[in-house]
Amino acid sequence: MGGHSDVELVGAIDQGTTSTRFLIFNPHGEVVAAHQIEFKQYYPQPGWHEHDPEELITSVETCIDGAVKHFESHGHSKKQIKAVGITNQRETTVVWDRTTGKPLYNAIVWTDTRSQELVRRLRQRLGSGELTKRCGLPLSTYPSVSKLLWLLENVHGVKDAYDRGVLAFGTVDTWLVFRLNGGLDRNVYVSDASNASRTMFMNIETLRYDDELIDWFRIDRTKVLLPEIVRSADPEAYGSLAGTALKGWPIMGVLGDQSAALVGQKGFSPGLAKNTYGTGCFLLCNVGPKPVISSHGLMTTVAFDFGEGKTMYALEGSIAVAGSSVKFLVDNLGFIESSSDLSALAETVEDNGGCTFVTAFSGLFAPYWVDDARGTIFGITAYTQRGHIARATLEATCFQTKAILDAMEKDSGHGLTELAVDGGMCNSDLIMQTQSDFIGIPVNRPAMRETTAFGAAIAAGLASGLWQSFEDLKETNTKGRTIFKPQISPEEASKRFATWEKAVRMSAGWLN
């Protein structure tokens, strides 16, 4: 908790899938104060996942007030805070009435798969194969467009607002900025390119809405309001807080959570990559100022738009099951008391004892995209113990990360020199060592792991002048890093990976 009353600081709102937090950072990238709360998850039917849009707002306001109170009780002054940045869960879709400012339905979360049937129909429509080249994303239940189309087809109030031309659509960043500015009073209605690139409405080259894409989805732009796309760091575009302890403070930066983590890990130049080990895994690699469209099953997304000459693209690979496989061993199989015990159990054995666990609980994501795979454990013998299965579970995430890195190398034409990591599973030394062994390059773990929030702080800090350039950030969050280096031979690594690939092939087609 460093900092004197004259040090300039920056605040970051981190609105995630299961919790919201507000953090205050000093110029060295250290957390000076923080407040976090979890909020309610709604699962009205299998495969459905919703949030209450009002609760997203109150959770943010509560966290701002909580962190500021803690901050001031330690003798700091809120005048030190220059600006606030926002990072948010991406793809999650909010719809509201532009005349009343009231939500018309719960937010449909990025993980939600209710639009499966609708997506199947869209895939059969002429031209569906051309979409990815324009927007960077494959057609699936994941981007916002399928969620919006489902609402228009199935919710009367949403269809009615659309027919009357009063429907407003936004991802979570847009909804937060609109409401934190006081809603209809100021009507600030914007999104940044890292979020807009997750809707399927934005042209990945121009960073503008693409009329041909919108037409293809048969959406009438005169009937639905889309937020204006602005830079990720901007001193004016995002307005200011209309309430909370920071009333009047400017919002100066917005980044979708995975982009924010790449920025927070200082992945500013091409070839730098980060992997976030959360419920799932998100691996992003900066590919430079021009988008690279993947031919190996990855998504193309905007890393950040910090203005002229400072806009970068990323290739992104997602793994559906990472931390949730550990939770599975705890909750469903009762192997261990809590997720943090997994490493200890895995360390009771030397290796996986011949076991390979393909954790395809809901099919496999990038780079495989095998919908009909299911979780399968191969190689069980009378010798197999719980420790072997624990080890095979954590290896599954590390193998999938390797598969994504291989795809990135093929798509971008250059190999990585190291992988920056964050997220819950990276607390385990064993998992990080295993990861380095499998990918054959060093794994770099920072001591301060709130890299997603720090990315939002960097966006706001660049816009407010707390930092003048990327160069100024060189020394931030460097203390106490751990570097894991490969400890097995490349031959051994590729032998193990070949076994994994064989298991993936054998787990496919189980559903048919």
Give the torsion through C-alpha atoms of 229, 235, 238, 242, to 10 deg. Answer: -170
Model pLDDT for residues 330-349, shown as the tens digit of each residue: 888 888 888 788 889 999 99
Which stretches of the chain score pLDDT less than 50? 1-3
Q: In angstroms, how far apart are the furthest CA atoms of the chain?
A: 69
Please name which of 150, 141, 135, 140 lies closest in space to residue 200, comparing C-alpha atoms.
135
CA distance 476 to 389: 39
| Residue showing tokens 């190689």 | 379
Q: Which fold has domain 9-255?
A: Nucleotidyltransferase; domain 5 (3.30.420)
- Residue 340 has a pLDDT of 80
How far from each other are the two terminal CA atoms of the chain, in whole angstroms?
56
Model pLDDT for residues 80-118, shown as the tens digit of each residue: 999 999 999 999 999 999 999 999 999 999 988 899 899
Please name which of 266, 441, 432, 287 lies closest in space to residue 346, comparing C-alpha atoms.
432
What does the domain layout of the chain look like in residue ranges? 9-255, 266-445+481-512
Domain 266-445+481-512: assigned CATH number = 3.30.420.40
- Residue 321 has a pLDDT of 77
- Residue 4 has a pLDDT of 57
Under 8 Å between Cβ of 267 and 420: yes
- Other residues' Cβ atoms within 10 Å of the Cβ of residue 482: 13
- Residue 203 has a pLDDT of 97
- Residue 72 has a pLDDT of 96
Domains 9-255 and 266-445+481-512 share a fold: yes
